Amino acid sequence: MERIRPRTLSGFMELLPAKQVQMERMMEILRKTYSLYGFSPLDTPAIEDAQILLAKGGGETEKQIYRFQKGDSDLALRFDLTVPLAKYVALHYNELAFPFRRYQISKVYRGERAQRGRFREFYQADIDIIGDGKLDILNEAEIPAIIYKVFTGFGLRRFQIRVNNRKILNGFYAMLGLSEKSGDIMRTVDKLEKIGPEKVRVILLEDCGLEEGQADEILKFIAITGSNDQVLAALEGYAGRNELFDQGLEELKAVTKNLAAFGVPEENFAVDLTIARGLDYYTGTVYETALLDHPEIGSVCSGGRYDNLAGYYIDKALPGVGISIGLTRLFYVLDEQGLLNPDLPAAPADVLVLPMTGDAGPAISLAQTLRESGLRVQLYGEQKKFKQKLAYANKLGVPYVVLLGEDELAAGKCALKDMRTGQQLLVTAQEAAQRIQEGTDVSKIPVILEK
Amino acid sequence: MERIRPRTLSGFMELLPAKQVQMERMMEILRKTYSLYGFSPLDTPAIEDAQILLAKGGGETEKQIYRFQKGDSDLALRFDLTVPLAKYVALHYNELAFPFRRYQISKVYRGERAQRGRFREFYQADIDIIGDGKLDILNEAEIPAIIYKVFTGFGLRRFQIRVNNRKILNGFYAMLGLSEKSGDIMRTVDKLEKIGPEKVRVILLEDCGLEEGQADEILKFIAITGSNDQVLAALEGYAGRNELFDQGLEELKAVTKNLAAFGVPEENFAVDLTIARGLDYYTGTVYETALLDHPEIGSVCSGGRYDNLAGYYIDKALPGVGISIGLTRLFYVLDEQGLLNPDLPAAPADVLVLPMTGDAGPAISLAQTLRESGLRVQLYGEQKKFKQKLAYANKLGVPYVVLLGEDELAAGKCALKDMRTGQQLLVTAQEAAQRIQEGTDVSKIPVILEK
């Protein structure tokens, strides 16, 4: 037979079983956490009408998108989960209850130039809350609580949710008479952490065409740091000069006010005036999330408040707030940095049942009994030497093996072998179930282990 | 702003939130059940090299596949989960432990002519067990137990897993000197339920070119029915005349032997000599699953034993056994037949918390407390009239609402309103959590409810 060399396309993540188990655990935590906050799961098609996906147009998107014909149809693969959400809400507007809270954990596609750590197919794990006409600021205040719950759920402690408000920035630039340049300025300030204040100043002067006084005011402004209370107090010093600024400041105060009630510790949250998010789309609160020991990774969870979700599709004001986690990239980076917990069991089963007699019946029954206790049980029926059977259990990382030979059957018991200690005990099926349960409770073992 | 009319492509399922919750529950049951039997989750890319996906070639596949260029790459969307599995096993052969048991629940793509109940994007929920060189018959015997567990997990009772063995059929046709026509004959016999024995006979004679005696022998053979024991006894009457037949009979006996130990009741299982599966791919045991009250739907879970998973990619004998559930179609049909349980709660939250005072702090804390009990809690912060807030809870189907006004705060309690009965109680946060938990335990409520 003529053979084709098997390969997986570059830029597409395909994990080995043990790693996939860790990825699945992260997805489970995301689903569970998003559900705890009352978000509905959503699942939109990966393929949409290209005209609809590209309604907004824009250079990079159009270049990266996977677009193709099938029959007469002009089709494309979604490149994010926000545009499909906008389409969904516009299409089903009359059937939805607002605020509409949805989560979606799905793959998106971008045909970028392949490079290390960049993916062409990757999971996004998004939540959004969409209002009909209005949306209360309380929703924006709740988002950091959800981010906090997700990342602590993964096992992370050393992270910081950074929050700012675009109205504060836009109001401040208006005070300086720089409203028309605010987009350019924000994109420049966004690079602060990467290139430092000196280079930001140069770009502001040379590329954005600011006067020295304006640039200095901006650098002074974004240099405001300290505790949340200190930053908010410093911002009060600018109050009363611009309505938009004042509104943004009120919103920022509302977002920070109830952090303790929301269960977010001070050390995991910071008002950060350098955060702007590159997208023009955001109009109020903006969020980024940094891993404190890995600043080079950049934000692992970003989002913000927007005023117009679906203007391309429907004549309704649909403001919203949302965040997105680039799950595939996050997983890749965590793995590369050695942060995935090696103690998280990655075996596909809690126990391997080995029939040791000609009649497999008793082993089958025992496996069923163990499953009724909620254990993941693999029945191993291959005709191999005993050593090979144990080698298989070891290769999979299965923590327990149960042997059923003539002696065990005669005694109405089974032999339970702990693969980690080598200890072997003669026990009843119920005792075996209990011991395996105690030895395989993974609910307290975090996915991520910081050093 | 110029607007584009939002739409979802025909042939692509996109559910409203309440229905999506039911779909998610089915997926959760599938993941959970497959895990209980020791299968590893797998997630392969939706896009593969077109040459690799089409290694086997074949007319229908090539016509239906979504294939496109990106740069120099000839790409295609997967049309099933078996070809990507074959690629995966061939590519990672040295890193896997065999038997390799994997499950995958993912979308696949077929650009078929759109028609009612046919989907171009649909979920398959597959399990496969792959051996290296050999694979014990015990694995084939275990498959009906897994199918049984999945469908009873959904809430179904009136279904039947039908099993046959291709070796019995091929051996039988060899006895009649019809080996070369066995493919045509099986495809014809496969239509028995649809067109009846008379028409099958006509096709066998006219299209397949059989002699009358041969056709009669075949019709007599496939008319063998009764209990499993009766069918097996009838098959013994053909034993000793063809080696392949005898081997198939031994396998079929091994598959049926331990059904009770595997927990599969007699009424949910039948040896059925008319089952052949249209694919040449299968070589031994074959499975179909029928909903007894809805024969028109056809098989909702099919599969079988094959000898050569990945011959197009690797020079290794990789026999396996697998089944596939066409989840999207199954969900569509269950919904259409009114079999989805209307009593399965579909609300995105168990309770809606309504702050009734200016300071949202106590309501936020209460929501956190309720979440710590595992409840799904939505905090509702919109400035609306009380009536509108309750109308929102009703539209979502949220079963409980908690009100926190001045009186409740002063008493250190909250008002818990049961939206189904209208009853309202003044209780502590802990009492509220307990009552809501008792009133929202969905673990015993089946997804499917037969009439």
- How far is A340 from chain B, CA to nearest CA, in Å? 18
Phi, psi of A282 (to 5 degrees): -80, 140
Does residue B254 sit at the A interface (CB-CB below 8 Å)?
A: no
Give the C-alpha separation, B397 to B60, whole Å. 45
Contact B23 A8 (CB under 8 A): no
Q: Tell me if B383 and A68 make a contact (CB, 8 A cut-off).
A: no
| Cα distance between residue B45 and residue B314, in whole Å | 20
Q: What is the pLDDT of residues B420-431, one digit of tens each?
A: 999 999 999 999
Q: Is A438 on the interface with B (CB under 8 A)?
A: no
Nearest to B39 among A41, A348, A368 (CB): A348
Half-sphere exposure of B344 (CA within 13 A, CB side): 21
B134 touches chain A (CB under 8 A): yes
- Tell whether A146 lies on the interface with B, counting CB pairs under 8 A: no
Chain B positions touching A138 (Cβ under 8 A) are 355, 360, 379, 381
Residue B252: closest CA among B273, B277, B237: B273
User: Which candidate, B448, B444, B441, B443, places its Cα nearest to that of B155?
Assistant: B448
* C-beta atoms of A375 and B36 within 8 A: yes
Q: Quick one: pLDDT at residue A117? A: 79
Do the beta carbons of residue A42 and residue A105 sit within 8 Å?
no
Give the closest of B6, B51, B261 to A4, CB-based. B51
pTM exceeds 0.90 for this model:
yes
Q: Which residues of chain B have pLDDT under 50?
A: none
Question: What are the tokens at B262?
Answer: 């595997």
Q: What pLDDT, on a 0 to 100 scale, did the predictor assign at position A1?
A: 64
Pairwise CA distance, residues A445 & B407, whole Å: 43
Residues in A closer than 8 angstroms to B48, CB to CB, are 8-9
What pLDDT score was predicted for residue A116? 80
**Count of A-B CB contacts under 8 Å:** 267
- Give the SS3 label for residue B144: helix
Chain B interface disruption, residue of A33, A43, A56, A73, most B CBs within 10 A: A43
Interface of B with A in 308-327 (CB under 8 A): 310-315
Considering only CB atoms, B381 lies closest to which of A7, A138, A377, namely A138
Identify the pLDDT of residue B423: 96
Helix (H, G, I), strand (E, B) or coil at A233: helix
Q: How far apart are CA B34 and CA B37, in angstroms?
A: 5
Partners of A123 in the β-ladder: A107
Q: Give the pLDDT score at A183.
A: 84
Q: What integer pLDDT is reported at residue A279 of this predicted model?
A: 66
For residues B382 and A134, the answer to whether their CB atoms sit within 8 Å is yes
- Asked if B278 and B268 count as a contact pair (C-beta separation under 8 A), the reply is no
Q: Give the pairing type, strands A159-165 and A40-41.
A: unpaired
Those of residues 291-310 in A touching chain B at CB distance below 8 A are 310
pLDDT at B97: 97
Q: Best mutation site among B2, B7, B28, B29 for testing chain A: the one with the most A CBs within 10 Å?
A: B7
* Complex ipTM tops 0.90: yes
Q: Is A81 on the interface with B (CB under 8 A)?
A: no
pLDDT digit string (tens) for A420-441? 999 999 999 999 999 999 998 8
pLDDT at A37: 98
Q: Say whether A364 and B87 touch across the interface (CB within 8 A).
A: no
Q: Residues 150..189 of B with a Cβ closer than 8 Å to A: which?
A: none
Q: Do B311 and A1 touch (CB under 8 A)?
A: yes
Q: Which of B14, B95, B361 sits opposite A45 (nearest CB)?
A: B14
Task: Enumerate residues 111 to 130 of chain B having a beta carbon within 8 A of any beta carbon in chain A.
Answer: 111, 120-121
Other beta carbons within 10 Å of B390: 18
The runs of H, that is alpha helices, within B176-293 are 182-189, 192-206, 212-222, 228-236, 243-257
d(CA A75, CA B375): 41
Per-residue pLDDT 10s for chain A (451 aa) are 679 999 999 999 999 999 999 999 999 999 999 999 999 999 999 999 999 999 887 677 788 999 999 988 999 999 999 999 999 999 999 999 999 999 999 999 999 777 887 899 999 999 999 999 999 999 999 999 999 999 999 999 999 999 999 999 999 999 999 999 988 898 888 888 889 999 999 999 999 999 999 999 999 999 999 999 999 999 999 999 999 999 999 999 999 999 989 999 999 999 999 898 866 789 999 999 999 998 888 899 999 999 999 999 999 999 999 999 999 999 999 999 999 998 888 899 999 999 998 899 999 999 999 999 999 999 999 999 999 999 999 999 999 999 999 999 999 999 999 999 999 999 999 999 999 999 988 878 999 998 7
| Residue pair B108/B81 in contact by the 8 Å Cβ criterion | yes
Query: Is A55 within 8 Å of B312 when comparing Cβ atoms?
Result: no
* Inter-CA distances, A230 with A208, A253, B12, Å: 30, 12, 52
Compute how many other C-beta atoms are within 10 angstroms of the C-beta atom of residue A266: 12
Residues of B in contact with A258 (CB under 8 A): 360-361, 364
